[in-house]
Amino acid sequence: MAPATASVYALIRLLTCGVWVFAGLYKAFHYEETVADMRQHRLPLASYLLALVITMELAGSVLLISNTQVWVVALVWIAFTVLASMIYHWPIQVNGSIVFTQLVQFSKNLSIIGGLLALLLLDPGKPAWLRALVTG
């Protein structure tokens, strides 16, 4: 990887972690409130699921910052973001009117997925099958 590309790749990894670190810490320090919110969205075993989510967010950030298994973290976060978007931000239209805050949150999640796809594309450590998939 060229030095300029390596620097951009490191910056993308670092910037991508911000939302995950803050989300994980918020959930950890507001555990019961977050469990209650998850239960309102009818998520089963919310307290156990939340522990898994916090681990995914914080451990994934450590892995990204340390440039370890970036492709695995990116794939896990993409899958999580798709699921969370469908559970928390869909539908974006209620009673024929667009709910703007949900539209923005859903769009934000699409942007996050775009950044994660960039990580997949740039990660030199991704396996051959994934390299073939993302580069054609």
Question: CB-based burial of residue 134 (10 Å sphere; 0-12 exposed, 13-18 middle, 19+ buried)?
Answer: middle
3-state secondary structure (DSSP) of residue 132: helix
CA angle 85, 88, 91 (to 5 degrees): 80
Q: Give this prediction's pTM.
A: 0.91
Q: Fill in the amino acid letter for 11.
A: L
User: In a structure prediction context, what are the per-residue pLDDT tens digits for the chain, which is 136 residues long?
Assistant: 788 888 888 998 999 999 999 999 999 999 999 999 999 999 999 999 999 999 999 999 999 999 999 999 999 999 999 999 999 888 777 788 888 888 899 999 999 999 999 899 989 999 999 999 887 7
Write the DSSP symbol of residue 56. Answer: H
Q: How many independent structural domains does the chain possess? A: 1
Q: Which domain holds residue 50?
A: 3-135
